[in-house]
Amino acid sequence: MGVVFTKLGYKNYSEIDAGIKGLFWVTALISILPLLLHQYGIDFASRQEMFPFDRVHEMSENEISDAHFFSLSGAFVHTLLECSAFIVAFFTVVLSFTHFSIKRNSVTPIIGMALFMSGCMDAFHTLAADHLIDATSPNTDLIPFTWAICRTFNSAIMIAGACIVMAHHKPATGRAPGLALVLITSLGFGVAAWSIIHYCATVAVLPQTMFPDNTITRPWDMISLILFLLAGTLVFPKFHKYNQNLFSASIWISIIPQVATQAHMAFGSTELFDDHFNIAHFLKIIAYLIPCAGLLLDYVRIHKHELQMRRIEETAKIKAIKLNKEISEAHAGALIIARDAEAAKKQAENLAAELEHSNQELEQFAYIASHDLKAPLRGINNLAKWVEEDLKGVMGEETKGNMALLRQRVTRLESLLDDLLAYSKVGHNDDNSVLVDCKEMLNGIVYLYDDLDIVLKVNIHPNLPTFFTKKRALELVFRNLINNAIKHHDLTEINLDISVQNKDEYYIFSVKDDGPGIAPEYQERIFEMFKTLRPRDEVEGSGMGLAIIKKLIELQDGNIWIDSQAGIRGANFSFHWKLK
């Protein structure tokens, strides 16, 4: 069976539901069992006794009644078997319509209806055999004939049902035929069944269907046997492939008892109610029962699936509730964070305002201090000069040295105050933008160092721009950087390289020297106020130059930085300068 399924397009045998596998083997066993038991000697024929007409006058009323029952036992067994088949067919069609209402797959009711119509035919066959409806022919003709007709109808209508379903299947959309087709097909099946019943009941002479002496005892049953074989090998495998579910598989499996039924009839049964006759009727019930079992198995599967879905749904619901809770918690957290951020922002704004205020105060203080201290300082300088003049000739060498030192310190203090004043004024000057030719400006600055006792080589790159900018500020920056490069150089030959890089919104100017350089650990400190790296007695300087130009550059949203590496000579100061 596995090989068969594989050939028909299944990837492997395990794809077939375990229920179907079980159904297949149980069906095969039940279909073969009566034959085996028959071979073993068990008799399934109805024990029918002829009514004892010759002894009627000797018998009591009860004995006569019993004799009637004994003579009809074959008919009773036949009726019971046929009724069972009809009831199963009825249940199958009811189940198939219920299945349709759940799955909206019209394949099931079409096949269910075909099965039910076969059941109706069987019911008619039974009613006619029991003479409960008017039939013109004797039972010996009527029962085998209507049986053969019912079986032919059964096989043909099942094949027709499967073919109708497959013909209306739209592979492109995967949609099965709809309810309209179910109704039309059911009506067609019904009319066909009724017409055959009507014909069989009213036809005057029925053809002979039983040939007890032949190998094929009931040749008419060969028709349905062949049809069932065709259905089992050609139609239903295809039908199952097209509509892969438990019901279509069970329809296919039901062909086993169908074929067994017909084989018992066509090759075995020689008279009414004999061994093979009863086995065939029993197997027909099995044949009807298998699709019913297939539907029930499918229900179990649907139910299991639903339970699973419900469980998944519940889990999803629990997860959703949990997620919702987490979201609302996160939301609350976000609100708190937003509130905190707002408070932090306000605090930062307040701090910025306070800083701005204290900066202003500091600048004001620096301005006042440097401005106001200059006057007494000038006074001290003058006084020192007068004392020197008054004590000319009296002063010893040491006093002279001390007086010179005093004036030097006063001068230094004056220059410190000048720089402090310059620092506090940064940004307060009216420095309007004018067209500045950088090369010309730099040449002017360098020219001032001409008469110094040094060899100064300055390489001004030709791409230095001419542009509109605050000339005084830019000149101050360059002047300080060039002055530092010369002032803090340790040799008499000094090489400077002044270059520029053009970025979209600003220039990056660089002033590079070949002096001693600045060790990395001091590179931050040199931009602070009053910071010098060497004692002022060695190199005169206030330590304000870089602080002033840093402030100037930052006021223009720029930045200044230094590249100088330990153990390598030279310092390169670079700074941003806005294009406009």
- 467/465 Cα distance (integer angstroms): 6
Using the structure block, give the residue that is written with the tokens 């721009």.
Answer: 465
Q: Least distance from C-beta 526 to ligand ADP, angstroms? A: 4
Q: Least distance from C-beta 518 to ligand ADP, angstroms? A: 5
Q: Least distance from C-beta 447 to ligand ADP, angstroms? A: 20
Size (the chain), residues: 580
Is 27:19 a contact under the CB 8 Å cutoff? Answer: no
Q: Least distance from C-beta 547 to ligand ADP, angstroms? A: 6
What is 462-488 written as a DSSP string? TT--EEEEEHHHHHHHHHHHHHHHHHT
Q: Least distance from C-beta 357 to ligand ADP, angstroms? A: 27
Q: Which is nearer to ligand ADP, 238 or 551 (CB)?
A: 551
Is 130:75 a contact under the CB 8 Å cutoff? Answer: yes
Residue type, 353: A
Nearest to 465 by CA among 334, 579, 341: 579
Q: Which is nearer to ligand ADP, 388 or 418 (CB)?
A: 418
Q: Least distance from C-beta 568 to ligand ADP, angstroms? A: 13
Tokens of 71: 């003579």
Q: Which is nearer to ligand ADP, 439 or 479 (CB)?
A: 479
- 245/249 Cα distance (integer angstroms): 6
| Chain residues in the site for ligand ADP (CB under 6 A) | 484-485, 487-488, 513, 515-516, 518, 526, 531-534, 541-547, 571
Q: Which is nearer to ligand ADP, 240 or 512 (CB)?
A: 512
Q: Which is nearer to ligand ADP, 114 or 442 (CB)?
A: 442
Q: Least distance from C-beta 540 to ligand ADP, angstroms? A: 8
Enumerate residues 6+ apart whose C-beta is below 8 A from 92. 112, 115, 116, 119, 288, 291, 292, 295
Strands 493-502 and 455-460: parallel
Three-state SS at 507: strand
- 178/26 Cα distance (integer angstroms): 34
Q: Least distance from C-beta 524 to ligand ADP, angstroms? A: 11
Q: Which is nearer to ligand ADP, 177 or 541 (CB)?
A: 541
CB atoms within 10 A of CB 345: 10
